[in-house]
Amino acid sequence: MTLTHTLIHLLGGRAVERAVMRGLASDGSLPVAPTGPSMLRPGDNMLRVRLVGGGMVRSLGVTTAELGLAGHLSRLLQGSLARGVSIDAWGESGADLYDMAPRLCPEGAPRPHVRVVLVGLIEAMRLRPSSRWRKDLALLEPAVAAGEPPLVVVLAPSMPNDLDVSPWVRRRVAKAIEKINAATVDWVDRHPGAYRVPAIPPSTRKMLGTSEDYARTAAAIAPVVAEAVWAAKE
């Protein structure tokens, strides 16, 4: 691909991303929890979870962490594992894998029992070629090195059919999500210690923004996290 074609693709991807973000926020700007996305549920044998992602982890659209992804996920894990849960979360709207990877293994941070990362959505919105995405996934290699805790990789959610964008944008992003998720599945399946959560069909036209959406996402993630913790005897 020539430099000119690369620039055209990049600019086109950014335009598509802006169109999708406008569709997501068509009802107005999304609030955020002022206390941040992390969550602590006291109990014995504390399970330490490192949770990293974009706007979904930041829990855009809800006003407390309790109503966001970490709140729902910690509640489910506490119930299924019968232990305390501490979720150390980092999430920023628009974050890509280059932003997320360093946050999975931050220097000086306590070692978690399990790491969870939500990947691929912003890259799909930017129409990142799957060939480039396959190379990007190498950024996750340090998190699955020998001796590291399990890594749970959450695939990009499916594209809502009634998102407020043009049919062309909808088709392009849906196709990009499909290709990026296929590459992610291939990467996870080739790495012992990595687990995957399938793409979660959104219940509404918004990919994020309501406590119900975060509850559905947490319900898909929690059993895989529990499986990873049990397998690793953490």
Q: Can you give the C-alpha Rg of the chain in angstroms?
A: 17
Q: Which architecture characterizes domain 3-232 according to CATH?
A: 3-Layer(aba) Sandwich (3.40)
**What is the pLDDT at residue 2?**
40
| Entry pTM | 0.86
**What is the pLDDT at residue 161?**
62
Task: Enumerate the domain spans of the chain.
Answer: 3-232
Read off the tokens for 207.
């990919």
What is d(CA 233, CA 213) in angstroms, rounded to the nearest whole number? 30
Below-70 pLDDT ranges, the chain: 1-35, 160-164, 202-208
| 8 Å CB contact between 149 and 234 | yes
**What is the pLDDT at residue 177?**
94
